Structure 1
């Protein structure tokens, strides 16, 4: 794992080659004068959306408790499968969170000589990773308590898995610096906090007060994770800035 961003021969910006950029921009006039396609990109995407099937479906309850609960909520004008869908989403995200921290721990174990910010250590990161495992277990228990199947890939779980692929890819980028890896963790924790808040609200609406209380404990954990990761990122960036600053003794 790289320890910091370094200055180098980055020529991706347009200002690095004025002559070539001028030639490239001259082609804009040709594009503006060219005929437009019969169907634009926005219309094409809209046609795909109109023809697309839903992202999966929720299975019917597979236990007597689930059937009774679903019928009872339906009589009240509420649909329990919405909560089960979001529980499946959270379970998928927490499982991905475990993998994300596993990948980060691998990076730390390989960087034995790197200076870590603040109180960061393999032990402190491992503790956060273990919390993610506990949260996944909590969600599995909640799904089963409501008569659902915790192994189901729910529609929202499918969507969050696709969204989380970018985080996993970024964490496993071999060229990433410590600060960049922490940025990935902070992004994941920000989503985690907001999603647990939403889940608590949904559980409360469906009178699942016991689950809401247990979810509130998980939310407290996630807020602490976010605070700690953000603190580590701030310190890592401060260290990078200090390393780039000139030594006053050399002035």
Structure 2
């Protein structure tokens, strides 16, 4: 069991370094890798509070880059409502089937966008506002169920004119808000307090992940940033389809 917790630390370092680069993916990747070692119900009360530590720091540091109009006017209303709905649905839904469908959707989107980048196809037309609201609501439901709404939100924002720095800052501010609410929910349902020793043990890994991720983010050009984002989605979608996850 101690070996499993040590390997989880490696997964956390990798996942949170990637989030520091792109602004999303830490929970879904750490959850996907960690599920090979430990039960998912043991992982979420650890991974979500860790995420608010990282996203809180980065949100404050890059607060001037956050697109507040997009965040407050479009993203947060749909995602907050969706997260509440997803959390309420937890006892009633077939989580395995939802995860498979989620994985297929992520694979389709990331594969398509990587193909477009490979062919140097023109950028997608701007996503209609109703599609954006629908996608953010669905992303919120996925976040309430699995704490993994990032892939669908990235899909919704893929045609936006945000550059890599503003996209990352805006995404990170979303996770800070939503994961703070989920952490409170874990506190009230009794899952947070038993996880505090593991959270404290893994906190130093966040510092390493932030330092590495910040350096790599500065080195990536816009095209490289998009490729890295879609590759992370591709890996996440593939893992969600693995038997036993």
TM-score normalized by structure 2? Answer: 0.30
Higher helix proportion, which one? 2
TM-score normalized by structure 1? Answer: 0.30
Higher relative contact order (CA 8 A, sep 6+): 2
